[in-house]
Amino acid sequence: MPVHHFELLHGLIYASIRNEQYREHLHNEGYKYENRNFKGFCFSRLQGKHTASEGKLAFSSPVSFLFSTCDEQLMKELVSSLFTKDYVMIGHQRTTVLSVEQIEEKISECMRIRFLTPVTMYSTFMHNEKRKTYFYAPTEDDFSELIAANARKKYEAIFGKDPLDRTLTLTPLDKRHPKQVIFTFKKTIIKGWLGEFILQGDPELLKLVYDVGLGAKSSNGAGLFTVVSHLETKVKM
């Protein structure tokens, strides 16, 4: 597999949706918020024993990946489709599905989390008649504010209303040396960040971003996290 294989897993997810009308709706429209379309899912890279050489990863069986969504229909489509096929294709690799396991994590108003895939947030603008993209670092004040705004837009798009509590903050534990990661999706370069963060806010809003990913490019695989621990009191960072 290529090192950057989010695109191949993205293809597997859509190929596993047998309901053509639903698949096209999700791909082309999803959950709409003004001029934005959110897909309501996120996923990880392949996980398992592997060796790396010349931009490729050679995996030994078994391999796995995490998939997360707020969309019950999408989850049912994937699970039923994967179990009815003798094999699935990940890129050009023929793969047999051995099992599907469900993971449940408790969500609270203050958590220490670890990103399994890079979290990213960016703005686009025109400069000298060229379209430019600026990726925010977790050390910038705008980063957490834009992450929170993105989460609220996802909530409104999916549930059709504002969250009762709009509070959400995301702060890196290591403010001086956050780990930057650069990856590609369909030849687009994306800058994101890995590591452990403090995530605080309304549990209902945090539950949604746990399901669909935190930040931008979630349906491309960015912003998937796991809970490391729950903190009894809110943290001032």
CATH code of the domain in which 141 resides: 3.30.70.1900
* Same domain assignment for residues 225 and 125: yes
Please give the pLDDT value at position 176. Answer: 79
For residue 29, the enclosing domain spans 6-95
Summarised one tens digit per residue, pLDDT across range 185-200 is: 998 999 999 999 999 9
Q: Is 208 helix (H, G, I), strand (E, B) or coil?
A: helix
Pick the last residue of a domain from 70, 95, 120.
95
Taking the model in full, what pTM does it have?
A: 0.92
Summarised one tens digit per residue, pLDDT across range 164-176 is: 888 999 999 988 7
Q: How confident is the model at residue 36 (pLDDT cuts 50, 70, 90)?
A: confident
Return the minimum-mean-pLDDT range out of 78-87, 134-143, 153-162.
78-87
* Same domain assignment for residues 220 and 118: yes
Q: Is 134 helix (H, G, I), strand (E, B) or coil?
A: strand
Half-sphere exposure of residue 130: CA atoms within 13 angstroms, side-chain side: 4
Q: Phi/psi of residue 108, each to 5°?
A: -125, 180
Nearest Cα to Cα of residue 146 among 183, 121, 181, 124: 121
Average pLDDT for the chain: 92
* Same domain assignment for residues 218 and 126: yes
Does residue 223 or residue 164 have the better pLDDT?
223
Can you tell me the distance from the alpha carbon of 197 to that of 112, in angstroms, rounded to the nearest whole number?
6
Give me the residue label for tokens 């504010």: 145
Q: Is 159 a member of any domain?
A: yes
Can you tell me the distance from the alpha carbon of 68 to that of 65, in angstroms, rounded to the nearest whole number?
10
Can you tell me the distance from the alpha carbon of 12 to that of 31, in angstroms, rounded to the nearest whole number?
20
Bridge-partner residues for 51, per DSSP? Answer: 58
* Same domain assignment for residues 121 and 215: yes
Q: Please say if the pLDDT value at position 237 is more than 80.
A: no
Question: Considering all CA atoms of the chain, what is the largest pairwise distance in Å, rounded to the nearest integer?
Answer: 53
Say how many domains are in the chain.
2
Instruction: For residue 229, give both structure tokens.
Output: 């621990």
Q: Is 1 a member of any domain?
A: no
Q: Please say if the pLDDT value at position 233 is more than 70.
A: no
Q: Is 103 a member of any domain?
A: no
* Same domain assignment for residues 132 and 208: yes
* Same domain assignment for residues 141 and 214: yes
Q: Is 237 a member of any domain?
A: no
* Same domain assignment for residues 124 and 157: yes
* Same domain assignment for residues 80 and 128: no
Which residues are catalytic, by number? 14, 27
Residues 6+ apart with CB under 8 A from 209: 151, 154, 168, 223
* Same domain assignment for residues 66 and 166: no
Q: How confident is the model at residue 82 (pLDDT cuts 50, 70, 90)?
A: confident
Q: What is the pLDDT averaged over residues 21-33?
A: 93
Nearest Cα to Cα of residue 170 among 124, 229, 214, 126: 214
Summarised one tens digit per residue, pLDDT across range 46-76 is: 999 999 998 899 999 999 999 999 999 999 9
* Same domain assignment for residues 140 and 189: yes
Q: How confident is the model at residue 127 (pLDDT cuts 50, 70, 90)?
A: confident
- Enumerate helices (H) and strands (E) in the chain, giving the number of each: 5, 15
Q: Please say if the pLDDT value at position 131 is more than 90.
A: no
* Same domain assignment for residues 26 and 88: yes
Angle (CA) 226-172-48 rounded to 5° is 35
Cα separation of the two ends of the chain: 40
Please give the pLDDT value at position 236. Answer: 66
* Same domain assignment for residues 178 and 138: yes
Q: How confident is the model at residue 128 (pLDDT cuts 50, 70, 90)?
A: confident
CB atoms within 10 A of CB 114: 14
Instruction: For residue 117, give both structure tokens.
Output: 């895939």
Please give the pLDDT value at position 85. Answer: 86
Bridge-partner residues for 230, per DSSP? Answer: 111
CA-based R_g, the chain, Å: 18
